[in-house]
Chain A
């Protein structure tokens, strides 16, 4: 039984049993026992994590956790090396190497420091730093959550809110810890489920698929019997019929063979045509379905997903991966069935014709079966090298074309040429090495194959002439079948690579389809009857990456219809605030309320319809300028489009373009300057008519005059809506009812312009600095404008 199991495991037919682990459990049972032996009650652990580093530069099992009394760092001895293959894993208990404990009262605050590939947990006591332990950078999120939980616990705050994010990633089947982003560990990945899902795409065309498979089977069967009817019959019944046969009989025989052949060939072609016709009908539908499903899944995902994935890799999923699936099913799958039938059929016929000769052939084929994969593997490597060099060369060319102005400006044409020449030489060498191997290996292999065939056929010749086991006609048919065998074997040897590429592609496609969006509407979201636009930010905390907080404890309130100006240094977290209000991300802590309702409870459709963002990143879609302005409200009339463009000071430049509002923009369209594109994006937001308007450095790319024009238009639009304007240029915010100065993720000042100027704090300093800078470069107007406003206020 053991031997049978071993064979089944080896062939991946049965999975090795693996110990089940309780999900989310910090300590495995043996570790728990070892810790308990030292008098530490593991049930009283409030929170902890496995740090995987037992020293500053040493990997090893180490656990950092805290109880009501102390913080513990427990490092274990390295486990013995795993036994050699086939040997049983010895049952070794983990041995504690070092225990460090720190009374909770001694730690004032915990910190998480990040280095290159590691990090360190530290705490302070009376301003002095102490180390708790190290962890690899991949555990940073866990370490940072541990820090947060500890600090909250220590300060008497609610630490339980962090516990939900603290559970680690474990395999859904066996409970083993696995990297983030995977559902199953490598031993539990089930290829068959992917295959089942892949075939489920064809579920709607099941009937046609069955017809197609039948057609393929018939076509292959006919190819199988053709040599039997042509070569063998022709030789045995016509050419080798002996001198006694009459001319009429021979002619009749020949005519019958030719007629049978013609019927068989025509019917084979008809079946081939039939299945190709079905394939052509099914596949575009299926591939259209796959592409549509991926695209639909991508639309539903949150902004966070796009920030973590590269655009290129996502594009590949829609195009290359779905094409991989497409090509396998168009060019691979039908021929796979056809070739399998051919190989099996040919072997059966060969065995029926002559068992001895077939066995000899199979013996000789073993040489080829061994040599082929080895050669293939070697070629794949060589081809990959060529591909790598080719990609490098293409990147260089694309770099060069995109950066041609810089190259010319720095007069670096010759340097670029020499770099290109180096890469070209490498590509040349890689291609030469492939050709070298090809020109020696393939002829050599061909010679071996011919020699082997010659030996086998000589033996067959001897058998045909000296014994009654084989006729000459049968021998010739045998030769034809032998020739027929080569092509399907060739096909089958590389179709498996193709198949695994198709499965990989489908796996990537399914990954997108299965990803749950971070931002989801509740089951019954609140629909506000009267969306007023009052915004309240309550103790907000947010970070894009663990341990790098962007917003730290931010609270603000903006009444409906008010304008809030947000100022602060680059990277202070201003744009993040607008992202949180529009619920492009959810805060880690705290609440964003609109009209007194948590945005998480609101319908995101209603929320986004009522929030208009003009951001620093201007994106115009492929289409006309009018299409772009109408994006938020496709039913807007031409009058409304022109009115919005006028309000955004875009009408003037649009009418100067030869194609006016029908100018094609976006990828491959008319070149527009940054300011022009920005004005179109402002018009797009104006036409949306949102209740909350967020202007994130909306006028940064414009000259002062254009900015003033847009400001004037926007001032009119601001009536009746809440406006949040983020700006570096303080003159942009002169109409703001309230101003907030954001520094390092915190609101350091909040009040009216007058209050902040009187306070002479952060805003005053920024204002003075900018005034000085403008005076320095000879532009005093912003400062003058402010003074005018001051006098009006007074």
Chain B
């Protein structure tokens, strides 16, 4: 890699990029006709630009290049890349907070995720309940699991009232 390579962003030519899933369900990448095998897709702005500035890494975590926007890819590649990103960046979405109970400094949450009840424990609540962007709220439980409320203003009022006292 020479100096120029280091200083310029290596944007990939979308017309040369092909993404598809192999028979085992893993994303594979072809660049300008050359098969690159399994690759990782990484969002550089995971909350605000979910389909733009997507880094393509090989399995050894070496960057192959960046795709400026998935919209510039052909329909099949775009769909495959979006599916892979949705899978990699899947974060359980809390739709309702039913109860927040505090006992001995631990906060016991009773929530609804994917229409199923889900309970988890949060410690150090001011650090583990925080906004990732203007309205996206992240919750981290004691095991290190991550939950998301994509738009805090849009969840029902009762859930909002339950969380508001702890938001920093």
Contacts and interface: CB of A to CB of B under 8 A. Distances in A.
Contacts of A130: 24
B117 A128 contact: no
B45 interface: no
Given A189-B104, A507-B105, A116 B91 contact: yes
B85 to A, nearest CB: 10
Given A116-B146, A137-B144, A181-B142, A507 B104 contact: yes
A131 B25 contact: yes
Contact of A381 (B101, B113, B120, B164): B164
Nearest to B122: A179
A313 B90 CA distance: 31
Contacts of B25: 131
Interface in B86-100: 86-92
A153 interface: no
Given A116-B46, A191-B104, A381-B165, A182 B92 contact: no
The range of chain B's interface size is 35 or more
A179 B124 CA distance: 14
A181 B123 contact: yes
A485 B165 CA distance: 32
Contacts of A181: 123, 142
B164 A57 contact: no
B137 to A, nearest CB: 14
Contacts of B116: 59, 78, 81
Contacts, number: 94
A166 interface: no
Contact of B103 (A180, A186, A385): A186
B22 to A, nearest CB: 8
Contact of B165 (A129, A136, A139, A380): A380
Contact of B114 (A59, A82, A178, A388): A59
A139 B121 contact: no
Given A57-B90, A116-B91, A381-B164, A179 B121 contact: yes
Given A116-B89, A116-B90, A116-B91, A128 B143 contact: no
A180 B117 contact: no
B101 to A, nearest CB: 7
Contacts of A189: 103-104
Nearest to A81: B117
Contacts of A118: 90
B124 A129 contact: no
Contacts of B141: 138, 179
B50 to A, nearest CB: 12
Interface string A322-361: 0000000000000000000000000000000000000000
A181 to B, nearest CB: 6
Interface in A169-210: 178-182, 186, 189, 191, 194
Contacts of B120: 179
Contact of A138 (B103, B117, B123, B145): B145
A100 to B, nearest CB: 12
A496 B90 CA distance: 42
Interface in A82-125: 82, 115-118
Interface in A26-66: 56-59
Contacts of B118: 59
A695 to B, nearest CB: 31
B92 A186 contact: no
A503 B24 CA distance: 54
A194 B104 contact: yes
A129 B165 CA distance: 47
15 contacts: A59-B118, A116-B90, A117-B89, A117-B92, A117-B147, A128-B24, A136-B143, A139-B143, A178-B121, A180-B143, A186-B101, A186-B121, A191-B104, A194-B104, A380-B165
Closest 5 CB pairs of A and B: A138-B143, A179-B142, A138-B145, A117-B91, A507-B104
